[in-house]
Amino acid sequence: MGSIQELADPWMRECRKHRPPAFCISKIPGGSMKNLKKIFLYGCIIFLVTLLTSVPAFCADKNGYVAFGDSIAAGASLDAPSEAYPSLLAQDLGLNLLNLAENGETSTELKEKIEELSKKEKQAVSEAALITISIGGNDLIGEENRRTVLTEALISVLSGDYTMSEELEEIYRTLKENLISIISMLRELNPDAVIFLQTLYNPYLTDGYTYLGYNIGDELDYYVQKINETYTQVLEEAGGFILIDTASGMNGVPEYFYTTFDFHPTAAGHTAIARILEGAYRDAITPDDSKPSESTQTTESYDTLETTTDRQISSSGIGEGIASGEPEKPDTGGTAPKESADATDSVSISAPQTGETIDAAAQPESSAAESPDYSGVVLAVTAAILFAAVLFLFIRGLKRGRQI
C-alpha cells in the first residue's frame, strides 16, 4: 500500500474541486486522528526542546571581555600573547577574551573597524561585561604623524615656545572626534558594559633617555599630556566610559619599559596595567552600599602587586568617570622615580550622568553571596507549563473526536 502522501496528493486535488481545503485535509485517505496527534506531539517536543535549551543563554550573566586598541593591547614586543595585559586581566577576572587590538592602529582605523564589525564580533561586544580601549599613541607618534610631532618637539626645545601648529592641533581634534564616535557605537551595541579608556603613558621619563642635558621624555611629555587632556574632554563632553589613569602607575618605572626607544611595555609593565584595570573593574561592579566611604583608605592585594588608594566614590552610582590606580612600584635602588605632573594616588569614579546601569558578570568575592537573577528561568518554566496545559486540552479534545 502506498504512503499517506502518495494517496493524499491526487485525492486532495480532486477533493478541492468540490470541497473547502479544511474539509479535504480532515478526510485524507489512510490518515487518522492518531496520525494527527503524532504530528502535533512531535511539533510540541521540538518546541519545548528549543525553549529549554535557550534558557541558559537567556539567563546567563555577561562574561565576555573585548579588548580594542593598538600594539600595546596586542602585546607587541612580548614573548607570548598570554603575557599581554588583556590576557592577564581576562584570566584574573574569569572573563572570556576577544582581543581585537592591532599593531599600529590609530583612532581613525579603530573607528572604521567598529563600523565594520562582523556579526560574530558585534555579538561578542553586545555580550561583553568589560570593554577596554588603548588608543591614541599612533595618532601622536605613529608612522603617519611621527615626523610632524618630533620636528615640532625639537623646535619647541630650541625656542622654548610650545605653541602647536595647526597640523598638530588637527591630530588632537581628529582623535577627540573619533573617540566620541567610538564610544557612541560601543554603547549602541552594549549599553551596560563597563568601558575603560586608558590614558597614554610616557616610557621615556627615565634618566636613560637624557642626552646633552635634555631628557627626551620631558620634551615629549607635553604632547603626551595633550593626548590625555583630550581623553578628559571626551569624558566631560560625551561620557559613557571610565577613564583609567594607567599613566600614573607606569611613568618613571624603568622595569616597565625597554631601554631601546621601544614604546611598548615589558611583561612587568603589562602585569602592572592588568592590576590597575582589575582594581578599577572590581570598583566599578561593587554595589554602592559595600563601597568604602569617602577618604577611607583600603588596600587590595592582586597577586604580588598591591594597590593602596584613597577612594572617593559617589553615592549615586558607578558608570563613568576617572579612575587612577597605582601598583606598588619596584625599588629602583635610589631616589623615587619621576612621575608625570598629573600623577595621583586617588581613585575617583563619578556617577553616570545618563543613569546607565553596569551589568557585569564577574563579581568580586565580597559580593559573591548576592542572589542570582532567576527571572529568565521563571519565565521559561511558566511558558512551558502554560504550553503543556494547552497541549493537554488539545489531546483530550482529539480523543473525543471520531476516527477517520
238-252: pLDDT as tens digits: 999 999 999 999 998
Cell of 27: 478526510
In the block, residue with C-alpha cell 620634551: 219
| 8-state DSSP, 20 | -
- pLDDT computed for residue 375 by the predictor: 58
CATH of the domain at 152: 3.40.50.1110
| Mean pLDDT, all residues of the chain | 73
End-to-end Cα distance, the chain: 18
207-221, 313-327, 345-359, range with greatest mean pLDDT: 207-221
126: containing domain: 61-362
Residue 32 lies in a domain: no
Residue 43 lies in a domain: no
- pLDDT computed for residue 295 by the predictor: 36
| Structural domain count of the chain | 1
Cell of 363: 563579581
Residue 137 lies in a domain: yes
- pLDDT computed for residue 168 by the predictor: 83
Q: Give Dmax (Cα) for the chain.
A: 105
Residue 101 lies in a domain: yes
- Is residue 222 packed enough to be buried (19+ CB in 10 Å), middle (13-18) or exposed (0-12)? middle
Residue 375 lies in a domain: no
- pLDDT computed for residue 66 by the predictor: 98
Residue 403 lies in a domain: no
Residue 244 lies in a domain: yes
- % of the chain exceeding 70 in pLDDT: 51
pLDDT digits (tens, 9 = 90+) for 276-288: 999 999 999 987 7
The angle at the Cα of 66, spanning 234 to 317, to the nearest 5 degrees, equals 55
Q: Is the pLDDT of residue 256 over 80?
A: yes
- pLDDT computed for residue 207 by the predictor: 73
Q: Is the pLDDT of residue 328 over 70?
A: no
0.75 exceeded by pTM: no
Beta pairing partners, 66:
98, 131
Residue 327 lies in a domain: yes
pLDDT digits (tens, 9 = 90+) for 189-229: 999 999 999 999 999 887 777 766 777 777 788 889 999 99
Beta pairing partners, 310:
297, 346
